[in-house]
């Protein structure tokens, strides 16, 4: 895990990621499947195994800054990268798991017996 302490909106926080930049598409570019014809928010991001490598430039930017070509966090990582997580100083950072599909509306797609 790659971690860094930064100032974000005037507060000191921790940002972290799994370091798999070759699998990072960005929140707005990661391929997904639509699960509902009537609810545009009911979708699942595809897993890493379903996708292969992400493009070096997925075409998304934050403040004119794109996906880095190295493993140094920048604005794109913090605000656009789907693999990046934020936490308050002293709190545990929980990274998203893309080894399986990630459902946007978990309650609609899983039951307790699942």
Q: Give the residue among 34, 24, 32 at the shortest CA–CA distance from 66.
A: 24
CA distances from 100 to 25, 27, 45, 56, 111 (A): 15, 16, 9, 22, 17
pLDDT value of residue 111: 54
Among left, alpha and beta (phi > 0; psi -120 to 50; other), residue 5 is: beta
Contact 51, 31 (CB under 8 A): yes
- State the alpha helices, DSSP H only, in 2-74: 48-51
Domains of the chain, residue spans: 2-109
pLDDT at residue 34, as a whole number: 96
Query: What burial class does residue 77 get, using C-beta atoms within 10 Å of its C-beta: 0-12 exposed, 13-18 middle, 19+ buried?
Result: buried
Round to whole Å and give the CA distance between 40 and 31: 14
Which parts of the chain have pLDDT scores under 70?
A: 109-114
């Amino acid at each position: 895990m790659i971690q860094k302490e930064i100032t974000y909106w005037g507060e000191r926080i921790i940002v972290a990621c799994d370091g798999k930049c070759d699998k990072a598409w960005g929140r707005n570019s990661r391929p997904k499947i639509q699960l509902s014809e009537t609810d545009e928010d009911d979708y699942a991001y595809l897993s890493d195994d379903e996708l292969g490598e992400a493009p070096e430039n997925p075409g998304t930017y934050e403040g004119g800054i794109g996906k880095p070509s190295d493993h140094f966090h920048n604005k794109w990582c913090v605000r656009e990268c789907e693999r990046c997580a934020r936490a308050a100083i002293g709190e545990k950072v929980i990274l998203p798991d893309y080894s399986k599909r990630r459902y946007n509306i978990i309650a609609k797609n899983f039951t307790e017996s699942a």
